[in-house]
Amino acid sequence: MKSEKKSSTSAEDSFGLFSDESHMRAALRLAERAAAEGEVPVGAVAVKDGAVIAKAWNQVEMLKDATAHAEILVLTAAANAIGDWRMDGVTVFVTKEPCAMCAGAMVNARVERVVYGLADPRCGACGSALDVTGFKGMLHNVAVRGGVLEPECKALMQEFFRKARVRGAKTAKPEKGNSTAEEEGKGKR
Ligand SMILES: [Zn+2]
């Protein structure tokens, strides 16, 4: 028997709000892995038809490659998984707002939607500092939802930079006027 009245839970679920959160949790676990490997903690998953098709985390230090952001690596892995560079119907979940490079890659890959956690007012290219994903002159626009599990994503980032500062203080003399808040605000990867 079908009930006419939907609970708020099933109503929200039908809009994908809860599945956005669960996929962001998976991205957060990958970001934690990045942090454990000494990388700036950013994790990403690619989802098609409700299933995770690719996972990645930031590996700039390990690969010694400035382009090895989680989003770029997840796009490559997703292309391998589906056998096509076109990401029709694919949503990318990433713990931090993509930079200009990654937002541009998502446009070129025709990603349908990007969901990010922590906004990046200084370098974010999904509407914060720049709007690469929504720029009208682009061949394709990517739908954006930001702020999913933002407190958790932010806490992970802050903890990483706090520990990095402690390590830095043990191995080097602190420089005067070297603002730690500024470093965080840069959204370095
Ligand atoms: Zn990036």
Weakest-pLDDT range from 44-53, 69-78, 169-178 = 169-178
185, pLDDT greater than 90: no
In this predicted structure, the answer to whether residue 114 has a pLDDT above a threshold of 70 is yes
**Residue 26: both structure tokens together:** 């998976």
- How far is the centre of ligand 1, averaged over its atoms, from the C-alpha of 97 (Å)? 8
Q: 34-52 burial string, b = 16+ CB within 10 Å, else e?
A: bbeeebbbbbbbbbbeeee
Provide the pLDDT confidence category of residue 16 given band limits of 50, 70 and 90.
Answer: low
pLDDT over threshold 70, residue 84: yes
The pLDDT assigned to 167 comes to 86
pLDDT at 168: 86
pTM over the 0.85 mark:
no
Ligand 1 midpoint to CA 72 (Å): 7
Catalytic amino acids? 71
